Structures are given as C-alpha cells and as structure tokens.
Structure 1
Amino acid sequence: MLTRLSQSEARRLAISSQGLDGHWHPPKGKEGVVEAIGRLGYVQIDTIAVVERAHHHTLWARCPDYTPQMLHQLQTVDRRIFEYWANAASYIPMADYRFYLPQMRAAANRRHEWYLSNEGREIRKHVMARIRDEGPLRSADFKAPTGRKRGSWWDWKPAKQALEWLFDMGELMIAERRNFQRLYDLTERVLPASVNTTVPSPEDVARFIVRRVLGTWGVAPVSELRWGWHRHPGIADAVAELTSTGEVTAVRIGGLEEDWLALTRTVEAPGQAPGSDHVHILSPFDSMVIRRSHLARLFDFHCKLECYMPAPKRQWGYFCLPILCGERFIGRIDAKAHRKAKTLIIRKLIAEPSVREFYGVLAALASTLWTFAAFNGCEQVVIEKTTPAQLKKPLQRELT
C-alpha cells in the first residue's frame, strides 16, 4: 500500500514528530525534558558557546521552562539519561541503553595496537583502579604527579586515550559533567540495576533504527534509515518485515522522486498545521536540522556549519541558527550572546530568497528573539545587519 502526501503534509509530519508544531505540550520540569529526549532519541552535545550550547538550546526549543540544571539532574541524580555516541556525543534515553551494546562491543573489537601493548594494559589497569578507589574522575585528574617526567605512562595523553577507549567499550560511563568536563565512573556504579542489558540481535537493532528514525523525523527515505553515522546491514529486511505487519507505510511525497517511509500511526493521525506565525530559532545541531540532506530534500533549505571555515569564505556567518516559521524555514541568524553586557547581537539576519511573507511574521520573529535573548541571559537585542537590508528598520521597530 502506498500513501500519497503533499510536501506540506510531509513537512507537517516531520515538524510534529519533532515536537515543534506548537501542539505538543510536554509536562513542566524534568518530566518534560525526559519526554523531549525520548521523542528525539538523542540530543547532541556540543562545546560551542557563542550562544547557549546546542544541547540546552535543543531542549529549550521544546520545553519553554527548561533550565540546564534539569539536564544535569536527569544524568547525575536520576540516571534517566546517559551519554554515548549517536550522531556525535549525545544525551540518550536510558531506556535505549541496550541498543548501544553492539556498538560498545564493536569498539572493543577495534582495539589499537597500543591498547593491547604492555604499556596500554598498565595504563588501563591504573585508570580503572584509581576510579574504583577514588570515585568519578576527569581526564585532567590523570596528569603526571609532581616530580615525574612527562612521557611516562603517568602522562595525561595516554590516560585520556585509555579513558575514552574504556568509555567507548562501555566499561566506563559519564557520571556527570562538571563545568562541562566529563567525570568517568565504573559502569556498574552509574547504570541503574533496572536497566535491561540484554544484548539485542542484529534484527532487533535494525527494527530499533527504523522505528527510531521514522518516529523522530516523521518521514524518511530508505537512504536515511541510519542511527548516528552507522548504516546497519539489516535495514532492508527490517523495513520489509515492518511493512508487512502494517507498522510502516510506504509514502510518495508530491514533487519528490524517491520513495519515503513513515510509521503507519503517524500517517493515520497527521499532525495539525503549525501556525504561520509560529517561529522557532533552532541550533544548527538541533535534531530538526542535523540531517542536512533530509532537510534540503524535504524543506528545500540548506544548512551548513561555517564556524570552522575562514571568515572570508563564510556565506552566512560563524554560527547560523535556522529560523522555522510554520511549515517553512524562512531564514537564519548569525547571533552572539554578550553575556557580560547582557546583549544578544544579531550580526546578520538572512531571509531566504524565496520567502515573500517574511514581513508578515516580523512581530512573531521579534517576540521569539526576545524569548531567545532571555534564554541566553540577555536583556537587549541589537540588529547589526539584515539581508535584504530593508528588513532591518521594520524588525528594529518590532523589537522596541
């Protein structure tokens, strides 16, 4: 059976699945954050802090009362989320832990020659013994003691490498982040006893990936059925099985050539259309935009991270934030939060060339900018440049 959707309907499914259509209302406090992470499957962690870090930004976009302390408590005290590799380093629902066990086993099988050397074994034993005896430790806690020469096995770099390998293999977990630094502890002391640690079969993992991808993004082509950067060889069989049982539906989207897929329950109960003045300012690491090819195909919006490029080569700016309005991405802003001055600087606002209705949503955009400024601890919003230039004055008027 083939379900036909317009691009508008497919976009609506995607935005609804992401919890950004204005019709999903998570509980207040930590419970809402848990629901948001569960809905997305993972929330990517990033170090860039020109505005509030990506993981906080992603959760705030869905949970208006979100504070970073909520995330800290969920990881450190409640143990309802854990940190591991999804698309990158990410916060992941603890309920999904078992589906990452094959990835941990694969990491154990990719051990480096140094890891297996006598020196590597000694460092691993030393690292594990210290953590077992002293409790959670940072990589910085393994710097060479006073009086010892650097370059010995006490050195920070090999110990840091051992910590990362032990983490990848699942022998250590992140107990908490303190001032954004990881604290490693024994998995047995972090992982709740109630968590299912049964290693899933390859078929179980393939079904998990299909359900997760379609549940998170609403619709996806077969080529996008991956979780993180890993492509699972059993995806085609999982799709065939879930389609035959009616859990997954083949979808043809108007204007797009490739066949797509969706969970049948989402197609049968499509999301309501988001309001045309419903505006989100998103992180470039937000789940909604992290799959660039998916974003380009479904929304005809191109998003590229330019902070690692030389300034003269940047098209949009250092750290551009996509603007989602209703069912369309209408532009992007290059923003910086000057926290000491409590000022959000919009270095550049760029409207999408195809968007004619931008002027009609300036009031809603201004309101969202003020909310975003408050989230970043800012009390002023300054617009430096807009493209087209004639947007600047009317937007400034809406901000006053």
Structure 2
Amino acid sequence: MHELTRDQARRIAVRAQLLDADRPGDVVEVAEQLAVIKIDPTAVIAPCEHTMLWSRIGWSYETGQLQKAVEIDRLLFEYDGTYRPTSLLPLMRPAMRRYPQYEKQRQWLEANDAFRRDVLARLRAEGPMLADEIPDTAQVVRDSADGWYGPNQVPRMLEALSRQGVVAVSGRQGRRRVWDVAERVFPSVLPEYPDDEADRLLAERRLQAAGIAKQRSPWTRVGEAGEPARVEGSKWMWRVDPEALAHRDDEIDGRVAFLNPYDGMLSDRPRLKELFEFDYVLEQFKPKAQRVHGYFAHPILMGDRFVGQLDAQLDKREGVLQVNAIHEQLPFEPEEYDMIRAELDDLAEWLGVPVAGAG
C-alpha cells in the first residue's frame, strides 16, 4: 500500500496526462499515452481533438498532423467519437465481438439483417462512402428517444457495425465521416488476446493515462490494475500506475495549460474534486442567465493546480481571439498573470489571430 500526499497524487495525474513542462513530440506519442483523444465539433476556440493536442505539444502542433496519423499512416483510428492509437485495437477486439450487449440493440440488428448485408455490400463494392451515399433499406425503424439519430437508419447501422469492428471510419470530409469496411482500414494482421487478458491490459492502459484513479470508479475503470494507494486526507481506495511512482517527488514545472471542457483530464469529475479541489461545471447547457464562467469556459491548469477558467472564443468575423474574462480561482500573483497572458499569446498565434479583450 503506497502512501501519497495530495501533492504527489496531483503530480502523478498531471504527468500522466502530459501536462507538465516535458512536452511530447508528436500526435502519436500523445495518443499512445492518453489512449483516448475526444472528438467534439464544438469549436468555441477550436475542436476538442485539436485543443487537446495543442495543450500538450504546443506551438509545433499543426492540425494536419492528426489527419496524417489517422488517414495516411494509420497509427491512430477513429472509434465511438474518439481517436485511439492503433496499438489498442487488438485489446478492443474481444469487446467488439461481444457487441451488442443490450437486448433492444440485438433485436434491431437481427430484424435488420438484410439491411446490414446491404450496407456491407455497398461499402465493399463502392466504398469509402459518406453515410448519406448509402441507401436506407431498413426493415425495422428504431426511433431515437434522445434525438441523436434522425429517421434515416444508415448512421445507426454504421455505428453498430463500427462497434463490432466490421466497418470503420477511413477518414473525414470536413466534419463528416467517411466509412469503409474494416479490413481496408485496420491492419490485416493483429495479435489475438483472450477476453480476460484484453480487459486486464485495457485497464492498465486506462490507469497509465490517468496515473492515479479511484479503485471503483465508473469514470476511470481501472479495476485491479496497478498498485493500491492511499492519498493523504482522502478516504477513497486508489490504484496508482507503478511507473508513475518513480517521479512522485519530482516538482512539476508551473507551466500553464488551457483545457478544452471535453479534455480527458477533466472527464473524471469526482477525481478532479477529490485531488485538485476543483469543482468544474460545464455551463454550455445552462441558460445564459445562470452562467457564471461562460458558455464554454476552459479550465486553467498551472503546474499541478487549477487556478481559474478562461472564457474566450475565436471570432472568425473579426479575426481575433476574443477574451471575455479570465476567472480567478484565487487572486493571481503578477508573475502568474504574466504566464497566463503568455499562454494566451501562444494560443492566438497558433490560431493565427491576435488577442482582444480582457485587459
């Protein structure tokens, strides 16, 4: 049982997410460590996948590097609204073969078996294709209770087949996904793992990305991966990545990072509050009158502490990065404010615009 201070636990988490001063060199290195890069079209500043990569790599990151890694080098692949390293694919195959687990989805697929075969035949003969280029021949229509899917059943079928590893996203036209059969997207030869070993190795990769996680967490499912730990002042039982422990006492250089609201560092909200004492609420879906920090405020990480939130957006019409407010968790020291302004200037330079507003 490892005994960790809160400072040590935070340092482990920050390093695991590649947010310390030792920046990674490229897109693939980031993906291999983080395991998951969220794709989200909300581009208040820039889409999540690009801001996640910029916040780690810095000024040398160019958006075309991600496209090259996914569509040309095939070192990353798109799955379920994320980019993942291709090294994870063999570990995901057993779960793909078990899909679907819910009876309603299984019944819909069985009832639409002819539709399924139509989609695969079309892709094999004519792919890669956009979803709207594939005819909807569904025998059974399933309504979308949450409004996520429209009446066209093709996107729903493609999503189901992608979760089975039968089709895959081969690339994108703008924000639109281009689909193909999986054998033309994924490597032809992949190692095979038994279900239990694959699940264990996936848990280890999740812990590697988190550094430290609550042992029983629905947000960071690490199970028995790593080694047990206690954190000073916390009643939780934790699991910690053994490799991360070697640097637990190393100081974190106080660089600044602006994190997209969908960044993986923020996804485990209970851990964020327990370790960092940061209670982050995304106000995107709140009525305007109820917002405190802004529609899509980016948390500001400085070293191993969250110090505030950045309310800003890229104003394409005016050609500026418009800063509405910099909300301070605690009052900034002058040198801390200078560091934040320097990071803002770097962000604006990456976007190719000047900074406007907020002092």
1:372 and 2:350 equivalent?
no
Cα distance in 2 for residues equivalent to 1:286 and 1:270 = 23
**Equivalent position of 2:19 in the other structure:** 20
Deviation at 1:142, TM superposition (A): 2.9
- Would you say the 8 A contact 2:136–2:153 is kept in 1? no
Per the alignment, residue 257 of structure 1 pairs with: 235
2:98 to 96, 102, 106: 106
Measure the CA separation in 2 of the matches of 1:104 and 1:264.
29
What letter corresponds to residue 142 of structure 1 in structure 2? I
Query: Paired residue for 2:144?
Result: none
Structure 1 position 191, deviation (Å)? 0.7
Contact 1:292 1:302 in 2 (8 A): yes
Q: Do the aligned partners of 2:100 and 2:106 also contact (CA within 8 Å) in 1?
A: no
1:170-208 deviation line (CA, Å, top 9, x unaligned): 110010111011111001111112432x14322x13422
The answer to whether the 8 Å contact 1:175/1:185 transfers is yes
Q: 1:226: how far off?
A: 5.8
Structure 2 partner of 1:392: none
Name the CA shift for 1:144/1:274 in 2 (closer, same or farther; >3 Å). Answer: same
Following TM superposition, the consecutive aligned residue runs of length 4 or more in structure 1 with deviations greater than 4 angstroms are none
Residue aligning to 1:391: none
CA deviations on 1:79-121 (whole Å, 9 max, x unpaired) are 1111113xxx11011011022223322324543433322xx23
The offset of 1:344, in angstroms, is 0.9
Match for residue 281 of structure 2?
Answer: 304
Larger radius of gyration: 1
AA in 2 matched with 1:104: M
Q: Which moved more, 1:62-71 or 1:98-107?
A: 98-107
Aligned partner of 2:300: which letter? I
Q: 1:176 aligns with which of 171, 178, 193?
A: 171
Shift in alpha-carbon separation, 1:107–1:298, aligned structure 2, 3 A: same
* Match status 1:217 vs 2:207: no
Let me know the Cα RMSD of the aligned residues.
Answer: 2.3
Q: What displacement does 1:259 show?
A: 2.5
CA contact under 8 A between 1:292 and 1:303: conserved in structure 2? Answer: yes
Find the aligned partners of 1:257 and 1:161 in 2 and give their Cα distance.
Answer: 42
Distance 1:304 1:69, change over 3 A: same
Aligned length: 345
> Is residue 71 from structure 1 mapped to residue 66 from structure 2 by the alignment?
yes
> What is the match of residue 351 of structure 1?
328
Q: Aligned equivalents of 1:109 and 1:335: distance in 2?
A: 41
**CA deviation profile, 1:30-89 (whole Å, cap 9, x unmatched):** xx110111010111111101111001100111112111111111111111111113xxx1
Alpha-carbon separation, structure 1, partners of 2:313 and 2:290: 19
Match of 1:318? 295
Label 1:214 to 1:144 Cα distance change in 2 as closer, same or farther (>3 A): closer
Name 1:53's counterpart in structure 2. 47
For residue 233 of structure 2, give the secondary structure of its aligned residue in structure 1: coil
Cα distance in structure 2, aligned partners of 1:70 and 1:320: 26
1:205 counterpart = 2:182 = no
Equivalent residue letter for 1:320: A
What secondary structure sits across from 1:47 in the alignment?
Answer: coil
Moved more, 261-270 or 107-116: 107-116
Whether 1:116 aligns to 2:144 is: no
* Cα 1:144–1:173 shift into 2, 3 Å: closer
Other-structure match for 2:130? 138
Report if the CA contact (8 A) 1:316-1:350 is conserved. Answer: yes
Q: Is the 8 A contact 2:136 2:152 kept in 1?
A: no
Q: What SS does structure 1 have at the residue aligned with 2:265?
A: coil
274 and 256 in structure 1: CA distance in 2 versus 1, 3 angstrom threshold: same
Q: Distance in 1 between matches of 2:11 and 2:84?
A: 25
Shift of 1:132: 1.0
What residue is the counterpart of 2:38 in the other structure? 44
Aligned partners of 1:339, 1:195: CA distance in 2, in Å? 44
Matches within 5 A, 1:158-173: 158-173=153-168
Point out where structure 1 has 5 or more consecutive residues left out of the alignment.
146-150, 243-247, 384-395
Shift of residue 156, structure 1, vs aligned partner: 7.1
CA contact (8 A) 1:50 1:337 kept: yes
Amino acid at match of 2:240: A
Amino acid at match of 1:99: L
- TM-score normalised over the length of structure 2: 0.89
Q: List gaps (5 residues or longer) in structure 2.
A: 142-149
CA distance in 1, matches of 2:90, 2:211: 24
- Partners of 2:298 and 2:17 lie apart in 1 by 17
**Structure 2: how far apart are the matches of 1:209 and 1:332?**
32
CA contact (8 A) 2:2 2:228 kept: yes
Partners of 2:219 and 2:327 in 1: CA distance:
32
Identity within the alignment, % = 27
Task: Single out whichever of 162-171 and 360-369 deviates more from structure 2.
Answer: 162-171
In the superposition, relative to structure 1, how do residues 309 and 251 fare at CA in structure 2: closer, same or farther (>3 Å)? Answer: same
